[in-house]
Amino acid sequence: MNLEALLAGRLAAAFAAVAGETVDPVVRQSQHADFQSGAALALARRLGRPPREVAAEVADKSDLAGLASVEVSGPGFLNLAVDDAVLATAVDALDDDRLGVPPVARPERIVIDYSGPNAAKELQVGHLRSTIIGDALARLHAWLGHEVIRRNHLGDWGTQFGMLIEHMVDLGGDAAEHSLGDLTDFYRAARRKFDADDRFRTRSRLRVVALQSGDELTRSLWRRLVGQTESTFMDTYARLGVTLTPADFVGESFYQDQLESVLSELDEKGLLVESEGALCVFPAGFTGRDGEPLPLIVRKSDGGFGYAATDLAALRHRVRTLGATRLLYVVGAPQRTHFRMVFEVCRRAGWLPPEVTAEHIEFGSILGADGKMFRTRSGDNVTLAALLDEAVERASSPAVGIGAIKYADLSGDRRSDYVFDWDRMLASTGNTGPYLQYAYARIRSIFRQADAAEAGPVSLGAPAERRLALALLGFEPAVTAAAAHREPHRLAVYLHELAVAFTGFYESCPILRSAGPTRASRLTLADRTARTLAIGLSLLGIDLPEEM
């Protein structure tokens, strides 16, 4: 149920009659009424007539019978008050698992690239936002009826693997296996040797060559290393409630045998330019430090392929082979220029046809209390595993602790940086995970004391009941807006508003202590709130405890 769309549809005819052309009534929520339309103000100028006069004529010609009442207000707004009976019936109808939201008419095949940690390392706080935001977007779009293909673009290839594999060889089979249990230590030990020992460095370089040329022993060690880290990633994803599966792990290594053809196709299109020994594409409109054209380096001067080549291959593969109609890259804002260049090059290469859209879903950084990048006191990166441990400890509940972290991340505009603050995110009041979970837990408590079958038709008496009904009907616009803008916080903020409306209702309208039709109606309102919170938070990837 989308009241805004319903009202806009009715008003559109009146606007068209007055304007002589199609006018978007821009129906929105308002403090002055249930909804308002400000379209008459803009229209009045075009018609050269007084705004209030235009608004009055639109109101007069509007057929809102059985839906709402309208009046002209202020400089020329149309204030809309939805009939109580309409609200009540609409809330009654929210009893299915989609809350009346139909699947999209034209499903797209959307590849969402998110998380993307480096194999042989642990998941860090630096991966948190991509993982959480990407997963929320995946859930949202899938729920709306799109075909979502998740892609975890692991850093599982590159020169550092020579060093790591050589270190495995040095340790020998069992010791290596054991050592991989702590990847941070394993990586550091390899790094130390690499920095200190010339001979080890030489062996590492040779090992890279062996890996690239497909040496069987080297490959099997590499597979073990990557496999081990993938399983630790899965452990953390499971704790975080992230929907990535091993089948979604398609790392950089997957594209290695496609890089030569990326190069040759670019060459055929005449896009490839040699510069300082490297093979580059110079997309128009990108300049560097001295105003000189900025290159996207496809093949480095040493003959190796860089990350840009892999990104190009991945994009081409996702469109050409996977058949994606939309590509979402959930990657931090600092890589904006890089992605703009990649997209531009792919457009010119014909890999990104006009009907396919590629979007960089950028996000800001997580800051510590000092306003700088979030780190441990000693300046190290914080591992996700440690962060989750602390969350569970502080909240003494996995659902609450981890939900708090995720909600804190998803409740603000993703483009903004935010300060990581345990006290604020775990607060039981305010725009927080625990506040929403608490509202839900209170409803569950009610239904442990009442039979769900007692719920009956909604009738709206008290102002708080009406406010809650209106809030419940705001779900569809919120979900739609969150998906359209790829901004999960639009849904999060809505859910908080719903919880606030519910709490107000809960405080002023006794449910179990009421009787008859009132009790039946209030139980339905509570039930619909619980459903909406449950579905809404599930779309954000946040669990709801039955009790708190």
Partner RNA sequence: GCGCUCGUAGCUCAGCGGAUAGAGCAACGGACUUCUAAUCCGUCGGUCGCAGGUUCGAAUCCUGCCGGGCGCGCCA
Range 378-407, binding RNA (CB under 7 A): 397, 400
Only one of the segments 33-41, 62-70, 376-384, 527-535 lies at the binding site for RNA (rule: CB under 7 A); that segment is 33-41
Q: Which residue has the tokens 């995970």?
A: 433
Using CB under 7 A, which residues numbered 104 to 123 contact RNA?
A: 116
Report the C-alpha gap between 221 and 318 in whole angstroms: 29
The answer to the question of residue 25 lying near RNA (CB under 7 A) is no
Q: Which is nearer to RNA, 232 or 431 (CB)?
A: 431
The backbone torsions φ and ψ at residue 373, rounded to the nearest 5 degrees and listed phi first, read: -50, 135
Report the C-alpha gap between 528 and 525 in whole angstroms: 5
The answer to the question of residue 212 lying near RNA (CB under 7 A) is no
The least CB distance from residue 173 to RNA, in Å, is: 29
Using CB under 7 A, which residues numbered 60 to 79 contact RNA?
A: 73-75, 77, 79
Using CB under 7 A, which residues numbered 527 to 546 contact RNA?
A: 546
Beta-carbon count within 10 A of 270 CB: 8
The answer to the question of residue 548 lying near RNA (CB under 7 A) is yes
Give the residue, chosen from 449, 452, 453, 515, that forms a contact with RNA under the rule CB under 7 A: 449
* Residue 460 burial (10 A CB sphere; 0-12, 13-18, 19+): buried
Report the C-alpha gap between 73 and 99 in whole angstroms: 33
Q: Which is nearer to RNA, 179 or 467 (CB)?
A: 467
Report the C-alpha gap between 217 and 320 in whole angstroms: 33
Tokens of 546: 């039955």
Report the C-alpha gap between 275 and 310 in whole angstroms: 19
Count of residues that interact with RNA, criterion CB under 7 A: 90
Tokens of 418: 């935010």
Give the residue, chosen from 48, 66, 214, 291, that forms a contact with RNA under the rule CB under 7 A: 291
Using CB under 7 A, which residues numbered 319 to 348 contact RNA?
A: 333-338
Give the residue, chosen from 36, 124, 253, 529, that forms a contact with RNA under the rule CB under 7 A: 36
Only one of the segments 38-46, 132-140, 219-227, 380-388 lies at the binding site for RNA (rule: CB under 7 A); that segment is 38-46
Only one of the segments 97-105, 196-204, 211-219, 438-446 lies at the binding site for RNA (rule: CB under 7 A); that segment is 438-446
Q: How many CA atoms lie within 13 A of 439 on its CB side?
A: 32
Tokens of 232: 């630790």
Give the residue, chosen from 246, 277, 457, 461, that forms a contact with RNA under the rule CB under 7 A: 277
The answer to the question of residue 438 lying near RNA (CB under 7 A) is yes
**Beta-bridge mates of residue 29:** 35
Give the residue, chosen from 89, 202, 231, 428, that forms a contact with RNA under the rule CB under 7 A: 428
Q: Which of 545, 535, 548, 546 has its CA nearest to residue 139? A: 535
Only one of the segments 127-135, 281-289, 318-326, 536-544 lies at the binding site for RNA (rule: CB under 7 A); that segment is 281-289
Coil, helix or strand for 77?
strand
Coil, helix or strand for 350?
coil
The answer to the question of residue 184 lying near RNA (CB under 7 A) is no
